[in-house]
């Protein structure tokens, strides 16, 4: 039975690690928050007291951390994974971070005789729990083939976007579009409701018309329109506003590097920044609707 290390057990990492356990792998976990390891221990994981301890004896090491600085913290330095991973180990970072950080870490890994993939995901917490995530992978093809069986235990679609960092670029393009679509969907629903329309009826109309999109079909921002989405549980769980703001910042930085025009992405970043500043940073990003409804 292969030993896998999994570091970062938040909204996404915990259900992903759980799916590896269910697939029969022996999983060693670590998170700075001790409490987030409890459910994994109950499911059969061995918990460690540091990332380097979790990496001991692991053929493959997954990380699922908030942002680039956390990823650097876990990989670099004398206690980092780049030092503590066993020879020949494969490192797979599933966090959404700057493409340059992924490229830099992959180069450092190569120098140490390790292989590294950036493999950010799409599909949200529901996809993580159901094992239906989409993995968007950057790195060498042989490394991806080595990772594939493990990725298949956690996801349904696996795309090879290109070399190191390419997974991150594809992921932020997707999330920039998602941020724009969620803000636009909220704007349209708020306009209709202000004119007396029922949000459920309007959502059904849009979902079968040319304005249809992922938010109207699967992740409606209006409370009560859809069961089992964050909007219907006071925007708890899901994909935090702070994380969407981070991804829109990554897209804006990437645009500056290539002199690309991203006016809608920039506008969306400003909307989510305002929304976060109003105290909604921990709520799901679909709570951007509140900016349009004007009340809690
Ligand atoms: P989260 O904040 O819920 O989880 C991150 C976990 O990392 C936390 O448990 C935290 O304690 C842990 N952590 C932080 N620093 C650490 C360290 N140095 N060592 C060990 N553990 C550490 O975040 P999340 O929602 O699980 O998202 C993780 C990544 O996945 C982010 O990059 C996010 O952008 C991306 N993502 C999230 C979603 C979503 O729907 N939540 C969807 C797709 C992609």
Q: Which of 121, 146, 163 is the last residue of a domain?
A: 163
Same-domain check for residues 18 and 151: yes
Q: Whose CA is nearest to atom 1 of ligand 1?
A: 10
Cβ-based neighbours of 141, under 8 Å, separated by 6 or more: 160
β-pair type (133-138, 121-122): antiparallel
Same-domain check for residues 25 and 154: yes
Same-domain check for residues 31 and 155: yes
Average pLDDT over residues 221-238: 95
Q: Which of 163, 185, 211 is the last residue of a domain?
A: 163
- Domain range enclosing 112: 3-163
Task: Give the confidence band of 2 by pLDDT, cuts at 50, 70, 90.
Answer: confident
Average pLDDT over residues 226-246: 95
Same-domain check for residues 93 and 27: yes
Q: Which residues are catalytic?
A: 171
How confident is the model over 127-158, as pLDDT tens digits?
Answer: 999 999 999 999 999 999 999 999 999 999 99
Same-domain check for residues 46 and 86: yes
Same-domain check for residues 47 and 158: yes
Ligand 1, pocket residues at CB < 6 Å: 7-13, 30-33, 36, 51, 64-66, 70, 73-74, 95-96, 121, 124-125, 238-239, 243
Average pLDDT over residues 81-99: 96
Average pLDDT over residues 54-72: 97
Predicted local distance difference test score (pLDDT) of residue 295: 59
**pTM (two decimals):** 0.93
Same-domain check for residues 177 and 272: yes
Q: Which of 148, 163, 178 is the last residue of a domain?
A: 163
For residue 85, pLDDT over 90 is answered with yes
Same-domain check for residues 190 and 154: no
Task: Give the confidence band of 204 by pLDDT, cuts at 50, 70, 90.
Answer: very high
Same-domain check for residues 141 and 181: no
Same-domain check for residues 176 and 137: no
If one residue of 7, 10, 17 were mutated to test the ligand 1 pocket, choosing by the most ligand atoms within 8 A of its CB, it would be 10
For residue 12, pLDDT over 60 is answered with yes
Give the CATH number of the domain where residue 175 resides: 1.10.1040.10
Same-domain check for residues 117 and 190: no
State the total domains in the chain.
2
Q: What angle do CA 124, 254, 83 make, to 5 degrees?
A: 70
Same-domain check for residues 127 and 67: yes
* Segments in 112-221 forming alpha helices (H): 124-130, 141-152, 166-194, 199-207, 214-218
Predicted local distance difference test score (pLDDT) of residue 162: 98
Spacing, Cα 204 to ligand 1 middle (Å): 33
């Amino acid at each position: 039975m292969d030993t896998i290390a999994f570091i970062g057990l938040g909204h996404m990492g915990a259900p992903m690690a759980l799916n590896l356990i269910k697939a029969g792998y022996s999983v060693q976990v670590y998170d700075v928050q001790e409490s987030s390891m409890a459910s994994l221990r109950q499911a059969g994981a061995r918990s460690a007291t540091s990332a380097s301890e979790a990496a001991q004896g692991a053929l493959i090491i997954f990380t699922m951390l908030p942002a680039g600085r956390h990823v650097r913290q876990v990989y670099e330095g004398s206690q980092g994974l780049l030092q503590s991973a066993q020879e020949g180990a494969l490192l797979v970072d599933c966090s959404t971070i700057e493409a340059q950080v992924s490229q830099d870490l992959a180069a450092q890994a190569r120098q140490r005789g390790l292989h590294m993939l950036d493999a950010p995901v799409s599909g949200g917490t529901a996809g993580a729990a159901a094992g239906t995530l989409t993995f968007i992978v950057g790195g060498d093809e042989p490394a991806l083939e080595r990772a594939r069986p493990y990725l298949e235990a956690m996801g349904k679609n696996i795309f090879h976007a290109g070399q190191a960092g390419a997974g991150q670029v594809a992921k932020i393009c997707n999330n920039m579009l998602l941020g724009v679509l969620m803000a636009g969907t909220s704007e349209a629903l708020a306009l209709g409701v202000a004119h007396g329309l029922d949000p459920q009826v309007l959502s059904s109309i849009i979902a079968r018309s040319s304005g249809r999109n992922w938010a109207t079909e699967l992740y409606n921002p209006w409370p009560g329109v859809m069961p089992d989405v964050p909007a219907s549980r006071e925007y708890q769980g899901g994909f935090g506003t702070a994380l969407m703001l981070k991804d829109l910042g990554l897209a804006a930085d990437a645009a500056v590097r290539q002199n690309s025009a991203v006016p809608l992405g920039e506008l969306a970043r400003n909307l989510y920044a305002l929304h976060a500043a109003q105290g909604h940073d921990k709520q799901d990003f679909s709570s951007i609707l509140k900016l349009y409804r004007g009340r809690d």
